[in-house]
């Protein structure tokens, strides 16, 4: 026997989850998993740990649900958790590289589980190669604003930082990205044709 799908807005959903309704928890996951998966993919690129990070996002969200002040802002709050989960994953990788006493370029690539990645064009592969070589905070700022098309204010809030700090990280990230993109033929052609908003 299947239960009826949960009906109600985000405020009702949060209230139902707080009261322990299982259908609300399932609806929470169903409503947001695709958006969170897409955000994590765009932040991390093709990566074998994407599903683990998405799982972490929902576990952290359920654990911290009582601290959610504005239930109507559930989606943006969840995006903030996802951004922090990705940042933590990047920090762990950075520490692991240091502990191995290996240069970052010597660390083997993480196997990817994204089936379509091999079919991506040179430009997309180049974008992810550049992003992998960037500082995590600058990379996240760049992706949130340029790829996710989040406003500066919303992206800063998702990162848990002031607008001024976010702007500085974004400016550094954009400068690095576009400088490195010029050395890659597929991206240089795109930039020359006005591919920058």
Beta-strand ranges (E) seen in 64-175 are: none
pLDDT at 21: 86
Q: 102 — alpha (psi -120 to 50), left (phi > 0) or beta?
A: beta
Sketch out the chain's domains with CATH numbers.
6-114 (1.10.1740.10), 120-197 (1.10.10.10)
pTM as predicted? 0.74
151-184 residue pLDDT tens: 999 999 999 899 999 999 999 999 999 899 888 8
- The pLDDT > 90 percentage for the chain reads 39
> What DSSP state is assigned to residue 116?
G
Contact 101, 47 (CB under 8 A): no
Q: What is the pLDDT of residues 81-125, one digit of tens each?
A: 999 999 988 888 766 554 445 455 554 454 444 444 444 577 788
Residue 107's pLDDT is 46
Q: What is the pLDDT of residues 6-32, one digit of tens each?
A: 788 899 999 999 988 888 888 999 999
The tokens for 67 are: 């601290």
């Amino acid at each position: 026997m299947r239960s009826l799908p949960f009906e109600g807005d985000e405020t009702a959903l949060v209230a139902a989850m707080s009261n322990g309704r299982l259908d609300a928890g399932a609806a929470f996951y169903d409503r947001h998993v695709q958006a969170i998966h897409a955000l994590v993919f765009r932040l991390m690129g093709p990566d074998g740990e994407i599903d683990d990070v998405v799982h972490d996002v929902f576990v952290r969200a359920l654990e911290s649900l009582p601290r959610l002040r504005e239930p109507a802002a559930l989606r943006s709050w969840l995006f903030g958790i996802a951004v922090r989960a990705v940042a933590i994953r990047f920090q762990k990788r950075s520490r692991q590289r240091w502990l191995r006493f290996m240069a970052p370029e010597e660390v083997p690539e993480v196997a990817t589980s994204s089936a379509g990645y091999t079919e991506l064009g040179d430009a997309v592969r180049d974008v992810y190669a550049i992003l992998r070589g960037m500082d995590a905070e600058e990379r996240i700022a760049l992706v949130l604003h340029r790829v996710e098309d989040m406003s500066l204010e919303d992206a800063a809030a998702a990162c848990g930082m002031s607008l001024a700090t976010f702007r500085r990280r974004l400016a550094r990230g954009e400068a690095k990205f576009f400088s490195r993109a010029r050395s890659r033929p597929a991206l240089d052609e795109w930039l020359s044709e006005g591919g920058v908003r």
